[in-house]
Amino acid sequence: MKNIYPLTAIASSFLIALSAPAKADEDAKLVVNDEIEMVTETAAPSHLEGLDTIYSGWTFRTDETQSLQMDDFDNPAFVFVDQAMDAWDKVEGSAEKSCSSCHGDVMESMKGVRAVYPKWNEEAGEVRTLVTQINACRTEQMGAEPWGYTSGKMASMEALISVPSRGMPVDVAIDGPAQSMWAKGKELYYTRFGQLELSCANCHEDNYGNMIRADHLSQGQVNGFPVYRLKNTKLNTAHARFKGCVRDTRAETFNPGSEEFIALELYVASRGNGLSVEAPSVRN
């Protein structure tokens, strides 16, 4: 007999397991610009065994942080969206083209794109994130330098491309040729890394709704990425967030853009299938 559970200990951990996740306001609804109704809570996709209901990270934030996302004039991310608007039309590289030369109006041509990424690219024979796709266009179509994976320019462009998909359900494909990357991402999600021996699931599946020190744990969804964080007053990419979360387990982290993080992004995105694309969102 290895484990002794005194009755009181069982009772107290039991209570924690049973108590519903505490949110700032259970009934808060996210409607952006009085127009775009966001699904911030819905039934978990069938592949996801550990959760019944999925919640956007927005539902765990304070009233003040929540309200910043309700109007684009209040959302600080839109400063960066405007900058990306200029970049969209800017001619760069040896082919002397801009994004708009080929893709025209971003609000038309990019509608629905953010909702299905990361996505298998048949021609390249690989799973592409929005970031790797944008860089493929820069290097192969424009003859321009790639942007850094988590650079400000890249995060801003990702944010711009996300805008026309806001309110659409995340719908990432996990079968077909993407399946093996997805499985790899799932394995990473449940691996207990570092000296703290913590997996993503330990915090974001088993303990969402709980406080870990000053932080109110969410389900670690990526439907809001890139995210404007009040903490560092800039746009943050999903891979930068993953990097920080792995580092915080006292582990050797992975690099943004690594195969591991691309697999992880695909898997984490699929855990949010059914939530609305919220990007660019606001978090603390």
The C-alpha atoms of residue 175 and residue 240 are separated, in whole angstroms, by 26
Tokens of 252: 């050797």
The C-alpha atoms of residue 86 and residue 79 are separated, in whole angstroms, by 11
The answer to the question of residue 139 lying near ligand HEC (CB under 6 A) is no
The C-alpha atoms of residue 257 and residue 240 are separated, in whole angstroms, by 10
Q: Which residue in 40, 56, 66, 253 binds another protein (CB under 8 A)?
A: 253
The single-letter code of the amino acid at 115 is A
Which of 239, 50, 262 shows the shortest CA–CA distance to 172? 262
With CB under 8 A as the rule, give the number of residues binding another protein.
Answer: 38
Per the residue annotation, which of 102, 200, 203, 245 is the catalytic one? 245
Q: How far is the CB of 70 from ligand HEC (least distance, A)?
A: 16
Interface mask toward another protein for 181-200; x: CB under 8 A? ----------xxxxxxxx--
Binding site partner of 111, from another protein, ligand HEC, none, Cβ cut-off 5-8 A by kind: none
Binding site partner of 99, from ligand HEC, another protein, none, Cβ cut-off 5-8 A by kind: ligand HEC
The C-alpha atoms of residue 81 and residue 156 are separated, in whole angstroms, by 6
The answer to the question of residue 126 lying near another protein (CB under 8 A) is no
Q: Is 238 helix (H, G, I), strand (E, B) or coil?
A: helix
Binding site partner of 31, from ligand HEC, another protein, none, Cβ cut-off 5-8 A by kind: none
275: DSSP letter? B
Q: Which residue in 46, 213, 231, 232 binds another protein (CB under 8 A)?
A: 213
Enumerate residues 6+ apart whose C-beta is below 8 A from 130: 113, 114, 117, 118, 158, 161
Whether residue 200 lies in the annotated active site: no
| Pairing status of strand 126-128 against strand 119-121 | antiparallel
The site for ligand HEC (CB under 6 A) is made up of 9, 12-13, 57, 60, 97, 99, 101-103, 113, 130, 133-134, 137-138, 141-142, 157, 161, 198, 200, 202-204, 212, 215, 217-218, 220-222, 224, 227, 238, 241-242, 245-246, 248-249, 264, 268, 283
**Residues labelled catalytic:** 245
